[in-house]
Amino acid sequence: MRLLAFLLVVFGVIYQNITNAQPVISAHRGSSLVAPENTMATFRAVLAMPVSYIEIDVRTTRDGQLIILHDGKLDRTTSGSGPVENLTLAEVKQLSAGKGFDEKFKDERIPTLKEVCQLIRDWNAGHAAKVHLYVDCKAVAPEKLVAELAEFDVLADAVFYGSDDFLLTLKQVAPQAKLMPSLKNADELSAKIEKLRPYAFDVRWSSLTKELVQQIHGNGIQVFSDALGFFENAEQYKKAAQLGIDVIQTDYVLKVTQALE
């Protein structure tokens, strides 16, 4: 057991030296500091920031169209109310997605997945530093999700977060998909690796330790974590970098950048 623990530490160090030692940034629902979350306005804004991923939440309308919306209900972020699954895409597009923001955002609409994919594809075509999608699979069939991402050539570099059962189904549809299940603690590690063969783990910020990060890296797997809420401060960002995690997800892209610099 001591030899195994030693090897995991060694492999973790080697893995971190091979990959970028400095964490990269994922923009959580874009950036609600500058524009309404999960809108084209916020996605365009964060593309001009130093991000490697943009996190989006995918849901399905009544007529089977894929849209970007975090909540199952429309009330918090739009001019509508009730479950979004009860509306067609045409009905969804009549709603403002700028609720709670400046009047200049009143004409923002809930985007479709295809609109976001096209934005990312076009951005990457003209920039050396690529930006990829972090797809939170809220309520979506894996077949249609994979098809739309593949249509715009953004499937290969996307990472997928969701329940273990959903990710397993997704893997059957797209065997090379980069799965990212959640990980609460080290006790779950072996079983999840065996079941899903993940690309990354989404580890709870409060569960991050040097040993856990090295153990995950020792299996050739990346570590993503959310610095949301209480953990959004320079001290926590620096701590995560020292632990060697790969991706910090944040609502404060520029604060993370400044802290890591």
Cα separation of 94 and 110, whole Å?
Answer: 9
DSSP 185-236: SGGGHHHHHHHH--SEEEE-GGG--HHHHHHHHHTT-EEEEE--GGG-SHHH
Mean pLDDT along residues 182-204: 97
- Residues 210, 121: Cα–Cα separation, whole Å: 36
CA dist., res. 29 & res. 110, Å (int): 12
Confidence grade of residue 6 (pLDDT, cut at 50, 70, 90): very low
Strands (E), the chain: 24-27, 53-60, 66-68, 132-137, 159-161, 178-180, 182-183, 200-203, 222-226, 247-250
Domains of the chain from N-terminus onward = 2-260 (3.20.20.190)
The mean pLDDT of 91-112, rounded to a whole number, is 96
Q: How confident is the model at residue 8 (pLDDT cuts 50, 70, 90)?
A: very low
What is the rounded distance in angstroms from the CA atom of residue 118 to the CA atom of residue 139?
21
Q: In this predicted model, what pLDDT tens digit does every residue of 137-164 receive, in sequence order?
A: 999 999 999 999 999 999 999 999 999 9
Neighbouring residues of 219: CB distance < 8 A, sequence distance ≥ 6: 189, 193
pLDDT the model gives residue 32: 85
| Residues written for the chain | 261
- Res 12 pLDDT > 50: no
